[in-house]
Each structure stands twice: as C-alpha cells, then as structure tokens.
Structure 1
Amino acid sequence: MKMKRDVYISLICALAINASAASINLDTIEIQSSTIDDKYQDNTTEVSNTYTMSGTEVEEFHAQNIADVLNTIPGVTVRKNENDSNKIHIRGIGAEMYMGEKPGVAIVIDGVPVQERAGSINIDMDNIESIKVIKGGASYLYGNDALAGAIIITTKRAKGKNEGVVATEQGSYGYQKYIASYNYATENFATYLQANYKKSDGYWQDSDYWTKSINGKFQYYVDDTSDVTFGFDKTKRYENDTGSITYATYDPTTQTYTYNADVNKKSYGEVGYATDYDIDLTKLFITYSKDFDNGSNLMLQVYQYDDTTTNQSAAFDSNRDGLRDDHLYDSYANTLQKGVKSEYRIDGTFAATMLGIDIARNKEDKNSKYRVNSTDRAGVLHPIGEVASDTTSKENISAVYAELKYAFTQKLTTTFNVRYDNIAYDYTNNLTAYNRETTFNEISYRAGATYKLDKKSSFYANASTGFRVPTLSQMYAGDLITSTYSGTYTNNTNIKTEKTYNYEIGYRLKTNLFSYNLSVYQLDRKDVIGRSSGNYASTRGVDVFYDNMADVRNRGVELSILSDKKQMVYFTLNYTYLDSKYTRYDEYNLILRDQITDRDYVAGVYNLTGNTIPRTSKHTVYLEGNYRVLKPLLITADVTYRSSQYADEMNQIKVNGYAVVNLRLKYNTKISHFPIEMFAKIENLFDEQYYMMPRVTGDRNDDGLYDVRDMGLTVNPGRTFLAGLSAKF
C-alpha cells in the first residue's frame, strides 16, 4: 500500500515540475480552485458550474437562516429549520434522506471541510465574506462525502480601515438580533471583531432558539510578501423542536383521524425525535501566506474545531396514548477536528499548478444516559442516569491533491485535478471494549476545459467524481446496533464505496448589461448505501443489514441570468430542471401495522427501479426584481416556485408545488455624517401554506394503511415580518 501511495505522490509532483518548466507567450494562467483561500475568484477558466455571492449580496437578503440565501441558487435545495440547522442538497443528491445522515455536500468554512452534523452550517450569518457553491462531484478537492458538490464559506477578513457597525433587527414570533463589529488597521496589522446575539420564540411549539457568538480575525503583515492570519469563532447556541407533525393521527379506539396538517400546524402535542439542543462551538485557525518572486505562493493552515452538543433524544410514548410525549435519553456528543492544510501554487504563462496536502485527525465521543426510568421489552428496568451507550470514533485523513491548468491556445484551457485519500476509522464501545478498525484508499478526479469564443463568452465542460466510504456502524451493524424495534441487524463488511460521476457542459456570457450561465449535466450515483429494509422502514423479526441498495441518475439544466446592478431596474433569474430517478432499487420493504396483533409486518417487497427520487421537484424558479426608486431607496420583490414532488420512494404520495413571494425595502441615509441603513421585509407576502420536506416511509400513524395520512411534515410559518436598522461609525 505504501508503494502505491508513493506512486501517486510522484505523479503529482511530476505534474508540477513539468508545468512550471516550459513557457510560451500567453496571458498568465492562474489557479482558482483553492481550498484554503478564495482570493482567486476569476471564473473565466473555471470548468465546473459555480455560483458565488459576496458578503454584501448575502447581507442584502437580511436572512434569518442561511437556507433563505442558498435556496435561491440553481441546483441547491435546503430543508429549512429554525435557526441555522439545515439539510443541504445539490442536484438532488441526498434528497431521499431526511434526518441525521450526511447530505453528500462538503461544508467548507475558511478552507476547512467542517463535519457539521446532518449538513448544518453553524455560522454567524453576519460574518460572511463570500459563499461559493461548486456543483457536481467535488471530492477531487474535498475528499469524503463531497458526492454532489461543496458549499465554501469564507468569513469576513480584517480590512485596511477603521470602521465600526452596530445593528438590530426585530421580527415575527419574537425574533430579535443585535450586532456590533469593529475593524481597526495600522501599517503593520489589521483586526476585525464582531459580537452577535439573536433569539426567537419560534413559530412551532417549543421551537424557540438563541445564539450568542463572538468572532474575529487578526492579520499581521510580516513583510510586503507575507502575512499571518489568526481567526477564531466562539458560539453558543440553543435549539428546540422543528415542528414536525404527522399529517393525520389515528385513534384505534374510535377509529377516527385527526388531520394535524389543518388543525395543528404548530405541532402542539407532537414531540420530535430529538430536541433541546445546547451547542458549544469553538473554531480556531492560523494561516500563513507567502508570495515568492517567481509568481508562486505558499499557504499553510493549522486549525482546531470543537463542537460539543447535548440534547434529549429517542422520543417515545410514555403514557401509550398514541402520541410521543417524552424523550428516553440525555445525549452528549463532542466532535473535535484538528488538522493541517497546505497549498503551493505556481502560476505560469501557459500553465499553472497547485499542490496540496490535507492531514486531519478527527475524534467524536458520544454517550447517552436514561433520563427517565424505562423497562425494556425483556422486562429489564433501566433507572434514570444509567449509561445506555458510550462510544469513541476516530477518523484519520491523510490526503494529497493537485490541480494543473494548461493553455493550449489563447482560447482553449484545460484543467486536471486528482486527489488521493487514505482514511482510517477506529471505533470503540467504551462499555464493552468492543473495537473495530478499517482503512480506505480512494482516488477522485476532475478533467475539464474552457473554450473562449471571445472576451465575453466561453464554453466549459468537465467530468468529476465524488465518493462516500461506508461507516463502521454500517459495516458492523450487527455488533453495533441493538434496537429490537428495528429488527435484527447483521454485519456486512463487503459494502462498496459509494461513488458519483458528474458530466456537464455549459456556456457563460458576460455583457455590459447581463451575465448568463447555462449548464446541462448528468450526475450518476452508484452503489447508494442503505438498509435492506428501506430507510426508516423496519420491523422486529426481520434481518436488517446495510448494503449498496440502489443506483440513481440525476439529469438537469441550470440557468442563471443576472442584470447589471448599477441600473435603476435590475433582476436575477435562476432556473433549475431536475429529473432524478432510481436506475436500480430491487427490493423495497413496505411496512404496515397489523391491527389484530398490533405488530409491524412486511406487507410487500417492491422493485422501485424507474421511480422518481422523493422530495425532488422537476422545476424550481427564483426570480428577483429590484427597483431603485431614488438613489437611497431600493425596493426588491422575489418569488420562489417549486413544482410538485413525491413524498415517498414508492411514488404513491405526491405533494403539490407552491410559490412564495417576498418583499423588501431598503433606505440609506446619513445622520451627523454617520451612514444609516433601514430595511423592512415581508416574507411569504400572500400567506401561502406549503409543506417543508414531506416524507413517508411506512405506516406512520399505525392505522394498517399506507396513504397520505402517514406523511411526516412541517407546515411553513406563513407570512412573517422583519425590520432592522444599522449604523456605521
């Protein structure tokens, strides 16, 4: 294995040496796909479909949740929860999952792929310098789980000026936010510091939350060619329930239904699987950057991210009245990420290279304790405080990656990426001393080209890959999972690595008035890892194991048109067409409740090959219009439309599409030489009701039938209001 690894490293180094040795009379070619720094934002030779927003553009949304921003981007869909805990999908990948799984999207903050649970982005919305979205398999830069792309967020930098900002926002359901920031600079250093507090009572029952954070950066200029940046973020958050309900609950004694989607939109009486989250985040990093005389650049980053979360989990029906009303466990999880990343660039007249290393040492400690007295199915009493589980998981990543850009002519530029990952997992059950280890070696790549028709337009094309390795809990489910309710688990150590293959062609055009980006793609997902009984569909007495259960093919079109923001009237139009289907899904178990025995049973095994992936809409449109009535006054209206979607893998339950209209007003003025900005916004202007991430996996309401009444969903909050004021000094 060592010899194989050395061969790949030698090949990467050879690419760098060859690329920097020759020279022809062309414009300087630059590497833009850095994982550490985003100062290379020119996309004229970018071979993938990317979408970039500046921090200013993000702030224009005055979004309470980052989902409000990301959902405007073609190809991106975000399940929106209260606060910033969201589930992100790109090009339909991961849309069939809806709870705690990884979404197949790399979340990269200040260059570090952060292991945010279930695709959440724990970041201060007012501390964003830029957001860049790379679509298609992106493991060639970010490694494991970048099946469908990456969300790259750079936090605000220290600037070469002295300036302070204070701001406040007030909105519906007790929403409040307060911000204070200050930037200070001298000839030798610059520093930026920001404090943020926000809270809300929430729309749904027990959906209140609050966030307190302080973050900043200190940049020291070593000399004219090098600098050191220290960044930190300390955030404490509290989150409660997400408002999930069952469409219609069933009372077997009266044989009647209660249609909660109509009479209980705020989820009174229903308890989510997990709630009452206390989150403590600490993010630290130091980055060194050095420019050399030959046009090359070195960046080195050392980081440590610490995420400690406690919550109540495993909702259950304590009084057996048919409704979950309590939680069985107090759960604890600490995720500690430590690592070193380094990149060395060589920009030349006809070629450019970037070499990188990524060394990460990640560890997660998890435990759960009974928070109530509980008697299991075997009649054993578990008292309050008894430890139910205690595990330690380690993930060691050692990776090298490279990018080569080569200009054959003034018009044709090619790009090649390759990454080699060595991933080692170590799992220990601290209660039983049970231990398992495994190692994966994966190669991912991208190859593409851009062809400039002229200075304003170009074609681009690429093929890229992504991967996700199976987890130890999937491979050794028979040893690690003991739930009797979910069936009898068995081990399967032959699970293949899940892979994606993305193929796309696109066209870019930028004129004085408009910019266009149109891409057509096919994203094949091979060997999807899932449970033999179906995701979240299982029953006692059935053997359950994880395996490569399905293949998926996603095809689509993404269009973005932006007009010149300097005009009195300007607009943004983003459109997505997505056709997402199972090309292989041989066995799906439909689980129903037997009304006589009051037990679950397998009602049938189905072949779902050819079915549409649930929770994917074929058509998504975001249209934003802006009218500058006066120089200081801007009116913005936008509409988001999503067509219908299936709520289940069997494609028997369809949910109607919807359109939501928002309205914003912004006014800028000065008071005693202090710049003042005031804004107001109405979200969901026409109070449209729709269901957020509907899902059906079986007989949820235990009535012995499989129909729309089994749907789990969250009803949107309806029309909301928000207003704010900020001042610079």
Structure 2
Amino acid sequence: MLFTVKPISRIVAVICAGAMGSAFADSVPVTTQKMDEVLVTSTTIDDRFASKRDEPSSVHVISGQTVDAQRPENMIELLQSIPGVTADISSGDEIKIKLRGVENQRYMGEKPGVAIVIDGVPVFERTGKVNVDLDNIESIRVIKGGASYLFGEDALIGAVIITTKRGAKYKGITVAADAGSYDYTRKLVRAGFANDWGSGHIQVTEREGDDYYWQSGYKTSYIDGNMRMFLSDTSDLTFGFEKSDRLKDKHGSVKGATQANLDPTGSIGRDFTRKYDVELQKLNMTYSKDLSASSNILATAYEYRDQTFYWSSPQRVAADGQAISDSSPGAQELYTTNNDYHQTQRGVKGEWRASSGSLGWLTGVDLRRNKYENFNTARVDYCGRVDYTPPYTCSPTNLVRAGEVFTDSVTDEAVNAIYGELKFVPAPSWTLTANGRYDHLALDYATGQTREIATPFTRDKSFNVSSWRGGANYAVNNNMDIFGNVSTGFRAPTAEQLYNGSISPTSTKVLNNENLRPEQAINMELGARARTSLFGVPYEVEAAIYQVDRKDYIMSTVGQYSASSTSVQEMYDNIGGVRNRGFELSLKSDRKREYTLDLAYSYIHAVFTDYENYYQTLGSPYVANPVMVHYDNTGNAVPRVPRHSLNTTAGWQPNERFRLALEMDAKTWSWADEINQEKLPGRTLFHLHANYDIRDKGPLGAKWSLFARVNNLFDHKYWTIARGTNDAADYLTGQYDSVYNADDLSIVVGKPRTWIAGVSATF
C-alpha cells in the first residue's frame, strides 16, 4: 500500500492548522510573565544544559528511555521518527545520517554534511557512517540548519549529538538477550555503582546476524563505560570510553531491476566492497565547574581511533586479458584492492558560559589534531585495461601485480577554532541569538612511492573560514513560540580533491586544482513550536519551513562518479549548485496516556541549480577512451530525495506495564539518478512493537523488561535504495550493452517480514 501525495498533504495541513489554532486559543499571553535571567544552553561538549525553549533552530530529542524501549537493530529505527532525516541504509546495523536531502546524491565514503558528535567528540569514520553502541545511548539531540557556528567543518545542514549513558540510575547488574530473524542475536551485561563520591558503569555488548542478504553477515562487539566523580559540590570529572570491533561483509546490493526481482539477496553478483574489519576506540574526559549560579566552565580532551580494512573493486579482467563477469566461477572472491585505513583524531575543547540580567554568553576554543593514513595495495594479478576484442591480451603497462602499492599517503589536519554565542532578551517575549565561529584549518599531505608515483612528494594548504548564525525566538504565549534563523555551514576541500592530478601523475585524464575554496551552505528557517491539544489529547508540536542554498559546492568537472578521458579531463572545482526547500511537522503526544499518536512529516524539494556538465559512460569504462554522453543536469531533482515522507506511531497503553504500538513509515517515489530517468519507487511499511515492563521487583528480585517487534508486518516488497550513474555490466554475462536503463541501477532490496524479541533484567 502506498499513500499518494494529495492525501498526505491534506492530512498534514488539517493537523497543522488544528494544532496551531489550539495553541493560539488555549493559552495565556506571555506578557503577563516576569522577565527571567537568560540562560545559554548551547554547547559542543555536554548536553546537561539542553533546552528547546528560546532556541531559534529546529531541535529534536530522543531519550535513552525511548532507545532502550525500542531495542533498535540500527539507528534509523530511531531517527525515522524525526522529520527530515534521509539516511543511507545497507545491511547490518550501520547507517549514514543525512538531513533534509542534503548530500543524497552521494553514496560512497564521503562525509554526510552532518556533524556527528559523541560525548563532545566530533566523530568521522572512513565509511562516513555512524557506529555507536545502541545500548549505550543516554540521549540523541538533532539540530537542523547550518551548525558550523558550533561544530565547524562539515556541519552543512546540522548536527547529531549523542550522549552516552551515565549517572546513578545505572547502578546494579543488568543482563539482556535478544533473538530474531536470520540468526540475529544480541547479548548485554552491564554493571554499575553509585555512592557519595560518584557513579559509573561498564558494559559489554555483542550483536551478530547472518542478515537477509547473501554474504552480508556481521558481528559487532562493544566494551564501553563511564565514570563520574564529584570533586566538590560545584565540580565533577567524567571519564568515558568505548571500544568496538566490527566485522561486516557485503552491503546487500544487486545490479539492476531484473536481478532485484529474480535474485533479491544478491547470491549472484558482487558489491563494490567486501570484508570490512573495523576497530574503533573512543576516549574522552570532561571537567565541569560551576563558578556561580550563572557561570560555568567545561573542558574536554579526547582521542578517537578508526582502523578500517576492506576489499574493493571487483576484478573485471584477468591478468591474461580474459573478462571476469560477476557470475564467473569464484568471482565473488576476486577483488583487486586491499584498503588499509588508519585515522586518529585528538583534541581539546573548552567553554565558558555565563549570564547577567538580560544577557547570556558562551565562549569556546576547539583545537584538533587529526591524522589520516591510507595504504592500498593490489590483492591479485590483473589487467587494468583491455579493449575486449580478440585476441585478448594485456599489455605490460596495464598488467598489475599482487602487492603493488596504489596509495601510501598521510594527511595531517590541524584545526584551531574559537566560537561563541550571545543571547539577549530585550523583552519578556523575545530572545535574540547570535553565534560565530572562526576556523583555521591546515592540511599537510605526504605520499610515498606507489605504482604511479615514482618520486614521493608533500603538499600543504590552509583555509580560514568564518561561520555564523543569527536567530530569534518570540513567545506568542505560554504555550507557543515562533522561531527563525539564518545560519551557515561549510566543508573544506580534501587532499584528494586538491591534488588529484599529482596523486595520479601518469594519467592524462585528471588534473590538480589547488585553488579550491571551502564550500558554503546558507540555511534559512522559520518555524513554530507549541504545547497544545488535538481532539482532547495533549501534544507537543513543532513545524518549520526552510531553504538551504549551496552555490559553490565541490564536485568533479565530469560529474558525480563519472569516468574521464583524454578529451574530457576530470578536476574538482567549486562549480556545483543545489537548493533544498521543505516543510516539516512533528507531533509528540503524552506517553503516559492510554492512547498516543506521534507523527513526523517532511516535504523536501531538492534541485540542482548549477550542474552543467555530467558525462554518462555507455559501454565499458575500462577502455582507453570510453564512450561518454553529455548531460546538463541543471534544474533536475536531487536523486533519492522523496518529496513526501510520513512516519506515525499509534500506541495503546492500558496500564503502566504494557504498551503496544503500530508504526507506519511511508515515502513517495524519487529519482534514482541525476539525469532523472530511472525511479526509486515509493513504499509504505508497517511495524509492530510490544513492551512489557515489571518496574517493581519481580522474579529473582529483578526488574524485568520484555519486548517484541515485527518489522514489515505485511511483508511488503520494496527497494530500500536505488542508485544509477552509468551503463553497467550485465550481472550474468559481464557484458555492456551501451544502453543505460533500470538494469544498470545498484539496488538494495528491502527486507521481508522480520522479527526480534528479547528480555532484560536489572538486579
């Protein structure tokens, strides 16, 4: 079943009008109130000051209690209840978070345009995805709009701030176990303490499963914890750590609509990457001191390590020049490249916040020292180029031997930044907010000798970038606020984009561009939040309209993921333009009532405003000069951005122990490619959740919690994602037909009906 556009729009319009009308009618004017001392709640370190009141930007919060009750297999099961979240999903439990359709045209290992911050640590993984222990989340806070004014680089469209579990409420022993479809299991043990001088806990979690897709099994092990010590009545010291080992195979994609229908699990064919082995480690320490009732300092130091190894690039041509198709015997083990990536992020941050009367302020410093190491080698002997005409041979220049080095580079990144916020309350109804941040970023790039680079070299580049936000919040009455803001976000060029030609010096198809500038995004937002009632049921409502303009975003001169040739050379430049406009509505009902209804709706219209050159490859890209067809994508819709998305959850809670909820998640169709030819169909899914909690001591003197969930309740067939770029080889024969159509899409078929159930006990 698929909800069409007009019914969704009409339903949302009626709900929005009714909710906001009630908020206007049922409340007391704010002018009767006394002006309170202003409080600054912004921070990049801790969420202890978090508040939505007086905030000029759209903010959504998911509590740890909600996370624990849902027992999600991946984070999208939580975030889909927030309007505007457009995440990339594959097999296993990892996702790439995106907001408001920004960066949906990209799907490789690029940064997502969203700052991911875990316990004050700005986290970026090699895959661009988010890996965090879902059983160790205290809260998730999503800030929309440009957020570089607080978090710096890549906060183009917002930030997701995750705070891990901490505090006295986790004292005691907790054990839990889940089981589900495709041999999914989850095991957890947590031990915590609390006394007069502090509190802490340590937790061990393991998740694994075969998953629905062929060769897509995964296993994740976590050990994490937190300890908080009270140094005095006004100060404390918090130490947190997390170590994870993640093994994951294929992402679950198939090639084309025909294979999606006949072989949805991908038993024939190959993903572009396989055999992920990821080790992550996060250490952080935070000091907090209340200087007075209206003044506080926070300081944190952290280290985050990411070591990622994986295979990439399926072998297409043997060393003797013979073609290897995806269905060839043993082909699923034939990949050309070993990728070994090491990343270390270290930093310190400090903040001082204070207030005096109608003024409040925050000042902060952010110092980062990051290192990114890439070492990629050939896994097998193979031929890099072949013309596919008899006799099949491979010239010595195209023959690659196992062990040859493709990449041996180190990038050192230094970030020195200062930032601040000023809040001013000129009248009881008004709160004005101004933010600013200044970043100095320095890149030092060095490469060793590789297959293409005979003489090692070094390069360096630095950028100075300013970011800001200006906003206001107007309290219409005690129950309703209107807010608005203009903000910026930025992304700095990478070493690979700056020195593309130097990294591949023997190629006549790629060029350097050392004049690249950091790309900027301008965000404008106007919204309202209210506490109101609808049909007699209390609700928290938030609605917003927004526009995001990116006029100089960095992209390839031949188009996204396109090939290049001697006549059509590739270079990165500030030439892209995108505009995202939309409307969002969120309704949250009181969870303590017998009947509840939550709703998250988003409308997104995302188009390329400047995309003059896109070259689509027809036929094999492995020949010396592939056939390339030119497109001007200016005015086209950004792919994989559904115009309408609706998530609703209806709950029934007859008593304090039992809750049953039915969730509906609907998306309309979107384009699967940048030329707007092939489509990703819309879909409507239903999920059923049940929880039963014994909050008083039950059997064995423990507090018990039981849950069960059925995803895709009605076993609906659908595609999770579809991505189209160029003509692709047939998944059976390996031949190119020089025609681009639905059989050239990379598709992840949605999972059929699945179940999961579990139990936990706290002693």
Q: TM-score, normalised by structure 1?
A: 0.92
Tell me which moved more, 602-611 or 199-208.
602-611
Counting matched residue pairs gives 693
SS at match of 2:77: helix
Q: Which residue of 2 aligns with 1:501?
A: 522
SS at match of 1:614: coil
Tell me which moved more, 462-471 or 702-711.
702-711
Aligned counterpart for 1:488 among listed residues 495, 500, 509:
509
Q: Which residue of 1 aligns with 2:69?
A: 60
SS at match of 2:168: coil
Deviation at 1:282, TM superposition (A): 1.2
SS at match of 1:723: strand
| Contact 1:593–1:600 (CA under 8 A) maintained in structure 2 | no
Tell me which moved more, 345-354 or 461-470.
345-354
C-alpha distance in structure 2 between counterparts of 1:706 and 1:245, whole Å? 16
C-alpha distance in structure 2 between counterparts of 1:499 and 1:383, whole Å? 42
Deviation at 1:607, TM superposition (A): 1.8
| Contact 1:359–1:398 (CA under 8 A) maintained in structure 2 | yes
Map of 1:246-645 to 2, 5 A cutoff? 246-247=255-256, 259-293=258-292, 295-318=294-317, 320-323=323-326, 325=332, 326-377=334-385, 378-380=395-397, 381-431=399-449, 432-481=455-504, 488-511=509-532, 513-541=538-566, 542-593=568-619, 601-645=626-670
User: In proportion to residue count, which structure has more strand?
Assistant: 1
C-alpha distance in structure 2 between counterparts of 1:58 and 1:535, whole Å? 36
SS at match of 2:496: helix
**Residues 67 and 294 of structure 1: is their aligned pair in 2 closer, same or farther, counting only changes over 3 Å?**
closer
Deviation at 1:723, TM superposition (A): 0.5
Q: Which residue of 1 aligns with 2:742?
A: 708
Structure 1 unaligned blocks of 5 or more? 1-23, 249-258
Tell me which moved more, 611-620 or 115-124.
115-124
| Contact 1:238–1:279 (CA under 8 A) maintained in structure 2 | yes
Q: Which residue of 2 aligns with 1:137?
A: 146
C-alpha distance in structure 2 between counterparts of 1:528 and 1:583, whole Å? 11
1:675 aligns with 2:703: yes
Deviation at 1:160, TM superposition (A): 5.8
- CA deviations 1:556-608 (Å, max 9, x no partner) are 0000011111100011100000011111111221221179x977644432222
| Contact 2:140–2:161 (CA under 8 A) maintained in structure 1 | yes
| Contact 2:109–2:127 (CA under 8 A) maintained in structure 1 | yes
| Contact 2:142–2:159 (CA under 8 A) maintained in structure 1 | yes
Tell me which moved more, 506-515 or 144-153.
506-515
1:198 aligns with 2:226: no
C-alpha distance in structure 2 between counterparts of 1:407 and 1:718, whole Å? 53
| Contact 2:126–2:308 (CA under 8 A) maintained in structure 1 | no
SS at match of 2:182: helix
Deviation at 1:239, TM superposition (A): 1.0
| Contact 2:447–2:456 (CA under 8 A) maintained in structure 1 | yes
Tell me which moved more, 551-560 or 35-44.
35-44
SS at match of 2:45: coil
Q: Which residue of 2 aligns with 1:189?
A: 198
SS at match of 1:709: helix
C-alpha distance in structure 1 between counterparts of 2:376 and 2:344, whole Å? 18
C-alpha distance in structure 2 between counterparts of 1:556 and 1:474, whole Å? 31
**Aligned AA for 1:190?**
S
| Contact 1:312–1:327 (CA under 8 A) maintained in structure 2 | yes
| Contact 1:183–1:192 (CA under 8 A) maintained in structure 2 | yes
C-alpha distance in structure 2 between counterparts of 1:145 and 1:216, whole Å? 28
C-alpha distance in structure 1 between counterparts of 2:117 and 2:62, whole Å? 15
- CA deviations 1:128-170 (Å, max 9, x no partner) are 0000111111100111111111111000113267322110110
C-alpha distance in structure 2 between counterparts of 1:599 and 1:266, whole Å? 34
Deviation at 1:483, TM superposition (A): 8.5
C-alpha distance in structure 1 between counterparts of 2:255 and 2:700, whole Å? 55
SS at match of 1:408: strand
**Aligned AA for 1:426?**
D
| Contact 1:452–1:459 (CA under 8 A) maintained in structure 2 | yes
1:659 aligns with 2:684: yes
Q: Which residue of 2 aligns with 1:5?
A: none
C-alpha distance in structure 2 between counterparts of 1:723 and 1:328, whole Å? 41
C-alpha distance in structure 2 between counterparts of 1:400 and 1:630, whole Å? 51
| Contact 1:84–1:121 (CA under 8 A) maintained in structure 2 | no
Map of 1:87-166 to 2, 5 A cutoff? 87-159=96-168, 162-166=171-175
C-alpha distance in structure 2 between counterparts of 1:247 and 1:477, whole Å? 31
RMSD of aligned Cα (Å)? 1.9
C-alpha distance in structure 2 between counterparts of 1:426 and 1:35, whole Å? 26
Aligned counterpart for 1:693 among listed residues 721, 730, 748:
721
**Aligned AA for 1:322?**
S
Q: Which residue of 2 aligns with 1:21?
A: none
C-alpha distance in structure 2 between counterparts of 1:498 and 1:239, whole Å? 33
C-alpha distance in structure 2 between counterparts of 1:350 and 1:671, whole Å? 54
**Aligned AA for 2:579?**
R
SS at match of 1:164: strand
Deviation at 1:375, TM superposition (A): 4.2
C-alpha distance in structure 2 between counterparts of 1:614 and 1:590, whole Å? 15
C-alpha distance in structure 2 between counterparts of 1:281 and 1:103, whole Å? 19
C-alpha distance in structure 2 between counterparts of 1:594 and 1:515, whole Å? 55
C-alpha distance in structure 1 between counterparts of 2:592 and 2:370, whole Å? 46
Looking at both structures, which has the greater relative contact order when contacts are Cα pairs under 8 Å and sequence separation is at least 6? 2
